Amino acid sequence: MKIRKFTQKDKRVVSELYYNLHPVEEKGKKEKGLLIPVEKSKLKTILLVAEENARVVGFIWGNLIIYGFFRYGIVEELFVKKEFRNKGIGRSLVKEIMKQFKRLKVKVVFVTTEKENKEAIDLYKELGFKLDKAPWFYWNPKEGIPK
C-alpha cells in the first residue's frame, strides 16, 4: 500500500469516494468536479490518497488553520472503500496526515466523527487522539506519532 499526495488525475475517483461517504440526496444530481474545494481554499489543504495495486482505495482530507499566532489542524474527512477496511489503510492515512501537520508546526489537531462510528473512534483513540467535549478529539504533535 502507498500513501501519496492527491493529484488532479485523482479528482474523479476521490469524488466517487466522497459521494460514498456523503451520498447525494437526489439520484442523478451529482455535482461536476471535486466536492473538496482544493483549488479555491484559502486554507492550507492536505489531501492524501491510499493506493492498492495502483488503484485509489481511500483518502484523507485535512486543513491547516492559522488563527493569529495559533496553528491547528482539522481532519475533515477520512474514507476507505468497504472492501479495503481493517487492513491498516485508514491508520496509515491518519498517521501520514499527522506527520504533515507536525511538519507544519500545528499546536493541536482536531477530528470529528459520528458518535455511532465506533471503528473511527477506536482508531483515533489508538492513534493518540483524546476525547474532548463531544464530538471533538484532539492530538498534540509533541506527544509523537505512534508506531
Q: For the chain, what is the domain count?
A: 1
The domain spanning residue 32 has which CATH number? 3.40.630.30
Decide: 1 and 48 in contact? Cβ < 8 Å.
no
For residue 64, the enclosing domain spans 2-143
**pTM listed for this prediction:** 0.72
The string of pLDDT tens digits covering residues 25-49 is 444 455 544 555 555 445 789 999 9
Sheet holding 108-112, edge to edge: 2-5, 44-52, 55-67, 70-80, 108-112, 136-139, 130-131
Q: Each residue's pLDDT tens digit in the chain (147 positions)?
A: 899 998 888 888 888 887 777 665 444 455 544 555 555 445 789 999 999 999 999 999 999 988 777 889 999 999 999 999 999 999 999 999 999 999 999 989 999 888 899 999 999 999 999 887 655 677 888 888 887
- Cα gap 147→136, rounded to integer Å: 23
